[in-house]
Amino acid sequence: MAEKLALYDATLDSRLLLGTARYPSPAILAQAIRAAQTQVVTVSLRREAGGSRAGESFWELVRESGARVLPNTAGCRTAKEAVTTAQMAREVFATDWIKLEVIGDEDTLQPDVFGLVEAARTLSAEGFRVFPYMTEDLVVAEKLLEAGCRVLMPWAAPIGSGRGVNNLYGLRALRARFHDVPLIVDAGLGAPSHAAAVMELGYDAVLLNTAVSRAGDPVAMARAFALAVEAGRAAFLAKPMTPRDLAQPSTPVLGRAFDEGAA
């Protein structure tokens, strides 16, 4: 693929970012990363008991995949928690990339956009390259850019819901307003058709986890999403036709047989 995706200091061929959680086994995760041809995977930090090697073996698997890591601040509920978690992640994963999540609602896992902007400002000033998980709100997007973010990641629907795009108008408006900012749809996609749909809108990439990891066959689903993302991107570049309310014959009407009214 000749067309590249630029995210901060990285230039990528793949427009599919993949989460690493909730796979049936580490082996299936490794195969799914390969099948998705992803170049960026998300990871997190969690409490671990002394003497456990679980985290280390997972980290080894990710390193062997060759993918770049995007650590998250999943589960953080305040800007302070998110900033501290990001600082810890930078040391462990040796990257200044951070997927910034500040959760504001237990039921929808909707981001607390006020805490998000605050944390984004602090982290950007500390040299982090912030990937904020946000709603599709135009004003929040503007504030995040002011805070130093150079990539935005609006949700399609609540995390893990698999609903697809909840607010098509909102995602369209965001794309139209920030046409030169890399936009990644993060969260809520359930099927490859959802991924293709947002790529057709002109989104630069998608970030998935549950839709792949909880599929009946995660490896096959990873491949299906990779194809959908590529198809959606190609369709966007090819400029889809404008939908119409009424039919328009595709075969020329002129010269139609049995047309007694023709001159």
52-60, 144-152, 225-233, 247-255 -> range binding another protein (CB under 8 A): 52-60
46-54, 148-156, 167-175, 242-250 -> range binding another protein (CB under 8 A): 46-54
Task: Give the separation between CA 110 and CA 104, rounded to whole angstroms.
Answer: 6
Closer CB to another protein, residue 73 or residue 236? 73
The 8 Å CB, 24+ separation contacts for 227-232 are 227/192, 228/192, 228/193, 228/195, 228/196, 228/199, 229/15, 229/16, 229/195, 229/196, 229/199, 229/205, 230/1, 230/15, 231/196, 231/199, 232/195, 232/196, 232/197, 232/198, 232/199, 232/200
76-84, 149-157, 161-169, 232-240 -> range binding another protein (CB under 8 A): 76-84
Instruction: State yes or no: is 99 an active-site residue.
Output: yes
Closer CB to another protein, residue 90 or residue 233? 90
Closer CB to another protein, residue 22 or residue 256? 22
Q: Which of 1, 52, 64, 176 binds another protein (CB under 8 A)?
A: 52
Q: Is residue 8 near another protein by the rule CB under 8 A?
A: no
Query: How many other C-beta atoms are found inside a 10 Å radius of the C-beta of residue 158?
Result: 16
**Residue 118 CB contacts under 8 Å (≥ 6 apart), including other chains:** 79
Q: List the interface residues with another protein, window 11-40 (CB under 8 A).
A: 19-23, 29
Q: Which of 54, 125, 176, 237 binds another protein (CB under 8 A)?
A: 54
Strands 129-134 and 153-154: parallel
Closer CB to another protein, residue 28 or residue 234? 28
Task: Give the separation between CA 167 and CA 184, rounded to whole angstroms.
Answer: 15
Q: Which of 88, 125, 176, 237 binds another protein (CB under 8 A)?
A: 88
Give the binding site for another protein (CB under 8 A): 19-23, 29, 42-56, 58-59, 62, 71-72, 74, 80-81, 84-85, 87-89, 91-93, 159-160, 209-210
Active site members: 99
